[in-house]
Structure 1
Amino acid sequence: MTSHDALAQALRQLETALDEAELWEVSAPLAEAFDSQQPFCVDSMTLPQWLRYVFVARLQALVDARAPLPAKCEVAPALEVWLKDVSGPHKTAVVDALATVDRLVTEG
């Protein structure tokens, strides 16, 4: 399995984990929200919006094009902080799935 294939599988697992945690079905941000210069677009999107409409979408585009992956990816810690006050059975699964994506991108 190539690194792109492994990442594609990990992105599907992340999508499933986010969906099961009810964090995937978020409304699309306004077009101008994508112009943010802040990390994770914190000034214009929620973290679940950013994950779905920016992070997953961009990584999937790289996978589809078999393009080079970013040199480093460390998004799971941000999600862990964002979820710190959230309880539920799916919290760990979401963070673990995102950590796998982080690792695969960094190992590229």
Structure 2
Amino acid sequence: MTTSTKLVELLYQLEAQLQKYELWQQTMPSPEALQSVEPFAIDTLDPHEWLQWIFIARMHALVESSQPLPRGFSIEPYFAEAWKQEPQYAELLNTIRTIDELCK
């Protein structure tokens, strides 16, 4: 299985988990919120919004256009900190960690 194929599976898994925990949104944030220059758009988006509208969307776009995938990122520590009071999100963190490891 290629890295891209595995990544797509993990992205769909992450989407399903966001839906399971009712974090998936039907309405996109404002264009201004999506244009934040802060890491994780921390000043304009909640963590789950960044996952849905920035990370998942961009990763799907890269795969669909056969562009090189980013390497060497680690987003799980941010989500572990952001959700430290949300133990029910452990499976989300596991999926995010797996994506980090896949894209080393």
Does the Cα contact within 8 Å between 1:21 and 1:94 map onto a contact in 2?
no
> Normalising by structure 1, what TM-score?
0.88
Match of 2:67 in 1: 67
Q: 2:98 — aligned with what?
A: 100
Kindly provide the CA deviation profile for residues 42-72 of structure 1, in whole angstroms up to 9, marking residues without a partner as x.
1111111110000000001111112101122
Q: Cα RMSD between the aligned structures?
A: 1.4
> What's the CA shift string for 1:14-38, capped at 9, x where partnerless?
1112211222236421101122110
Q: Which runs of 4+ in 1 moved over 2 A?
A: none
Unaligned runs of 5+ in 1: none
Change (3 A) 1:5 1:24: same
1:56 is the counterpart of 2:59: no
Contiguous gaps of at least 5 residues in structure 2: none
The normalised TM-score by structure 2 is 0.91
* 1:77 and 2:77 aligned: yes
| Higher RCO structure, 1 or 2 (CA under 8 Å, sep 6+) | 1
